[in-house]
């Protein structure tokens, strides 16, 4: 004898949550996007994208944009911000590049001390 047996069961699902941070902004957010790794929160305000570093706990950069933009998304694959405007029927794609600052004070160097470009070479002789 064969047959199907249907079991209907309800379960109560509990969820714990807590506020881990609250960021006070100077302007009203229109849209928000986060990086996949959680390091960056991009906040679109009227005329500006605020780049908030979760590691540093504050806004680390501001990207000026036209005031018509009211939508924002982030592409981790291309490291781009995509801005959209309903009223302007426009998309703007902004390529992001992270610049790392390396403190070389007190280290040996070759060339002018205040050169516009510094190349740091790291090596391991083991």
Instruction: Give residue-wise pLDDT tens across range 68-114.
Output: 999 999 998 889 999 999 999 999 999 998 787 778 778 887 888 78
Q: What is the pTM of this model?
A: 0.70
pLDDT at 49: 97
CB-based contacts of 1, cutoff 8 Å, min separation 6: none
1-15, 33-47, 67-81, 84-98, range with the lowest pLDDT: 1-15
Q: What are the residue boundaries of the structural domains of the chain, listed by start?
A: 31-95
* Domain 31-95 annotated CATH 2.40.10: yes
Number of C-alpha atoms within 13 angstroms, CB side, residue 116? 0
What is the mean pLDDT of the segment spanning 52-62?
92
């Amino acid at each position: 004898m064969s047959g199907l047996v249907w079991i209907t069961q309800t379960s109560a699902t509990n969820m714990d949550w807590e506020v881990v941070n609250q960021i006070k902004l100077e302007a009203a957010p229109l849209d928000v996007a986060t990086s996949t790794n959680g390091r960056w929160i991009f906040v679109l305000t009227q005329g500006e994208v605020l780049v908030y570093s979760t590691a540093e706990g504050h806004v680390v950069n501001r990207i000026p944009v036209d005031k018509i933009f009211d939508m924002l998304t982030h592409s981790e694959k291309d490291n781009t911000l995509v801005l959209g405007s309903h009223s302007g029927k426009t998309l703007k794609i902004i390529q992001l590049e992270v610049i790392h600052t390396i403190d070389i004070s007190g280290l040996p160097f070759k060339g002018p001390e205040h050169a516009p470009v510094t190349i740091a070479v790291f090596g391991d002789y083991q």
